[in-house]
Amino acid sequence: MTVRKLFLLPGDGIGPEAMAEVRKIIAYMNSEMKAGFETDEGLVGGCAYDAHGAAISEDDMAKAMAADAVLFGAVGGPKWDAVPYDVRPEAGLLRLRKDLELFANLRPAICYPALASASSLKPELVEGLDILIVRELTGGVYFGEPKIITDLGNGQKRAIDTQVYDTYEIERIASVAFELARTRKNAVCSMEKRNVMKSGVLWNQVVTEVHKAKYPDVKLEHMLADAGGMQLVRNPKQFDVIVTDNLFGDMLSDVAAMLTGSLGMLPSASLGAPDAKTGKRKALYEPVHGSAPDIAGKGVANPIAMIASFAMCLRYSFNMIKEADTLEKAIANVLEKGIRTGDIMAEGCRQVGTSD
């Protein structure tokens, strides 16, 4: 029997509650479908800092490296607002992304028909929305050096962050975007600020070259990132796949997520390169919402984003396409039936808690 190794990192805030629901699905799939999932669990973020003074322990890093896939909940909260920069909760997530080389972050922004009215946009602009944002995740200003604050004397400090992109980093993320576009509406929009940033100039060139050399069948468009943000608000359905760098991807995927009106619903996948021998790729799956400390522990959080992240895991890490489809169908069904957590509650629906 196939063994499928999952490493669970529920993290802080509503992470553990949401993860508990996925654990039920894993147990069900093991008993009813002989799915062969083996799970282990660790700490990340504030809870890891409380336990051993780091945002993730070496031991847990090793387990994450050895797993077929990592399921990640959420990190952070006011409790850890004042901890030192290097061990802040986010550092755990950033280290996982970097050390596992999860360079491709897939963030679908999907508007479930049942929830179109929950968007702050006019329903006709978001109904049926289905955008995939492909965000570069291991480069750019997130990891470039120098990244320091120096004391200049005279009461003046200087803070420096460095955006760095090499050709190969842009090539591989562009390829992921073009490949995925072929399974969708076959259109990619690449976003950067080439009118201001040299990394935008290189980004634009490399994406254009990759397109020409390997994916001339895919429709490619370039947009300045600020104009892209505008267009997301004005007419989001014009997009299929958007490919962009780490920082613009952070901003744009959050704007796109909010368009759907259902932040508590949106999953993400962070993927590495396929191993040359085994074809396996390291992967981490994570809801787009954060740790929501204000509602943590109350049993009211929406677990759908975490469950949908597990569906992405079935799809991308285990090629269990049928099972992923079934799970996603189940989510849509629950919504159709008007069963809702508080965040997406609407008139005529029945309000339920996380575990319902």
Ligand X SMILES: CC(C)[C@H](C(=O)O)[C@@H](O)C(=O)O
Closest CB 321 distance from a second copy, rounded Å: 31
Which range, of 39-47, 153-161, 265-273, 336-344, touches a second copy by CB under 8 A? 153-161
258 touching a second copy, by CB under 8 A: yes
Known catalytic residue: 185? no
Q: Is residue 287 helix, strand or coil?
A: strand
Dist. CA 286–CA 312, nearest whole Å? 10
User: 82 among the known binding-site residues?
Assistant: yes
Residues in the chain: 356
From 240, 250, 282, 343, active-site residue: 250
Round to whole Å and give the CA distance between 213 and 246.
24
For the record, the structure tokens of 175 come out as 């390829």
Q: Which residue carries 């996380």 as its tokens?
A: 354
Q: Which residue has the tokens 């480069």?
A: 139
Check residue 103 for interaction with a second copy (CB under 8 A). Answer: no
- Please give the Cα distance from 219 to 244 (Å, whole number): 16
Which of 160, 196, 230, 321 lies at the binding interface for ligand X (CB under 6 A)? 196
229 or 342: CB nearest ligand X: 229
Q: Which of 142, 165, 285, 316 is catalytic?
A: 142
Q: Is 329 a catalytic residue?
A: no
If binding is defined by CB under 8 A, does position 273 make contact with a second copy? no
Q: Is 277 among the catalytic positions?
A: no
Give the pair of three-digit tokens for residue 341. Answer: 């957590």
Residue 117 labeled ligand binder: no
**Rounded CA gap, 8 and 114, in Å?**
30
Region of 201 please: left (phi>0), alpha (psi -120 to 50) or beta: alpha
Query: Which of the choices ligand X, a second copy, none does residue 326 contact, using the CB cut-off of 5 to 8 A by kind?
Result: none
Contact 190, 243 (CB under 8 A): yes
Q: Where in the sequence numbering do the catalytic residues fall? A: 142, 193, 226, 250, 254
Binding site for ligand X (CB under 6 A): 90, 93-94, 195-196, 226, 250
Binding site for a second copy (CB under 8 A): 76, 85, 88, 90, 94, 120-122, 125, 141-142, 144, 147-149, 152, 155-168, 193, 195-199, 201-203, 225-227, 229-230, 232-235, 247-248, 250-251, 254-255, 257-259, 263
